[in-house]
A and B are shown apart, each in its own frame.
Chain A
């Protein structure tokens, strides 16, 4: 976010905000989140952040986003209750969801959220919690329900906020990638991996196809959703197993193309970010943008927030910056 409603704070500073009863969306290393008092907050683990000054990795501080809401409720959802989470959302407000990376709820949300009741009718943003990349395999991403102080590795935590009449929440996504002029790719099944793809209508083994084309796996696959470009990032291409793994599911019936590279992410971001976006209450950006575009030490002008292992703007996105604004009707 571009205003003082979001910043990287010490545990003492965040504790003071919690003590005032302010609703908060927090992000930080597991150890610092565990030191916070109970209150109106939700959190997920990540030590990477885009601050107003630059992208940083910090295990000792907490990124706090101060939310604007008349009333707040905080809920935790497991695999059974997750599909109905938006039925708990207020009619006039928004929801912020945090999911632990690699969990069943993460997978379920990624694959099924477009079909959840009330999806797209009520604003929902959020992110996928992760970990320090040095700790891959050693620690597990977690989310925290601040009301109870409990943390979870296989449940989603959601803050539902209601807004006063005359104010609405609008969800935005900034995707700097554009599709190349190459092949159309379709998949027979929805899922996080695929062996085969229909390339311009012809069935092909995906690892061979990607290797033959010399696809740079740092570029996501892109799909056009009525003008909104939605990314699916490539995790790995394995000729041995014959499988391509993705960070989000590819969907059956959707046409994809490989994205063109983005040469200067901070510059392109500055050009894509609206000059006057309105009152931003939540923001986040993807770890793959942070890594592939070298955002550590660089700014993404106008937008701050946790660096995440997946972004939620209604459905799960990859390699995208997401933010939510409040507008007067």
Chain B
């Protein structure tokens, strides 16, 4: 059996989805599966077509990530499969379900995060999604206990995707003075595209992407993260007025 077929089964990926490419990073212990609904020409990368990346359940000691372009042509049922996620999340629906299953079985949220190898940024995203009823309104009560269990000290200084700071940043309303070349270029491209995008899913992918940049380069971005806080507070001030 081919490697891609073995991984397809381990990751629970169901046809007509296939794994077009696999990358295993032995240093960071990550498995990246690039999936699509087709092979060959149909699976090629189309520039400017936004691709999402979601964290999925581990495969052995390896963190698994699914990369895919989810087009609007898919039905809600097709988009609801466990091995992909929503455009505004960084985790698959399957991983979120696994978290709630563990919580319902009596594990504390901190223990669930350790068990599933989930970092604090992702933990807060999953909690937020559960709180908003992504996995059903009957589970929203779980979110409060999850927050208390992570602890306020762990609240990331990088806003969640739902925070209006990101839209302000990408719609050019919010000024940011980045120092890193990579962020300057990324922000320019993202702002250019954001204004043209009519599809909300595509916009969420772009917000997710720039947020991922901040999470990934957090240690080099203290100055820029401080500026992000001011974008959040401007909004809060406006709301209170």
A interface residues with partner B (beta carbon < 8 Å)? 70-71, 80, 83-84, 87-88, 90-92, 112, 114-117, 119-121, 123, 162, 168, 170-173, 225-228, 230, 253-254, 313-315, 327, 329
Contacts and interface: CB of A to CB of B under 8 A. Distances in A.
A173 B181 contact: yes
Q: Classify the interface of chain B: helix, strand, loop or mixed.
A: mixed
Interface of B: 21, 23, 25-28, 30, 32, 34, 44-48, 51, 67, 176-178, 180-189, 192, 209, 212-213, 216-217, 219-220
11 contacts: A71-B26, A84-B34, A84-B45, A92-B27, A114-B185, A121-B216, A162-B28, A170-B180, A225-B185, A226-B183, A226-B188
A17 B213 CA distance: 36
Contacts of B183: 120, 226
A71 B28 CA distance: 11
A123 B182 CA distance: 8
A91 B28 contact: yes
Contact of A171 (B32, B45, B182): B182
Nearest to B179: A227
Nearest to B213: A121
Given A87-B21, A87-B67, A225-B184, A71 B189 contact: no
Nearest to A224: B188
Contacts of A172: 181
Nearest to A108: B47
Given A87-B67, A120-B189, A228-B184, 12 more contacts: A87-B34, A90-B27, A121-B209, A162-B27, A168-B217, A168-B219, A168-B220, A170-B220, A227-B184, A314-B181, A314-B182, A329-B219
Contacts of A230: 185
A90 B23 CA distance: 9
B185 A115 contact: no
B168 to A, nearest CB: 15
B209 to A, nearest CB: 7
Contacts of A123: 182
A321 to B, nearest CB: 12
Given A84-B45, A121-B213, A226 B178 contact: yes
Contact of A115 (B30, B32, B47, B187): B47
A327 B220 CA distance: 9
Nearest to A329: B219
Contacts of B187: 225-226
Contact of B51 (A88, A117, A162, A228): A117
A87 B32 contact: yes
B170 to A, nearest CB: 12
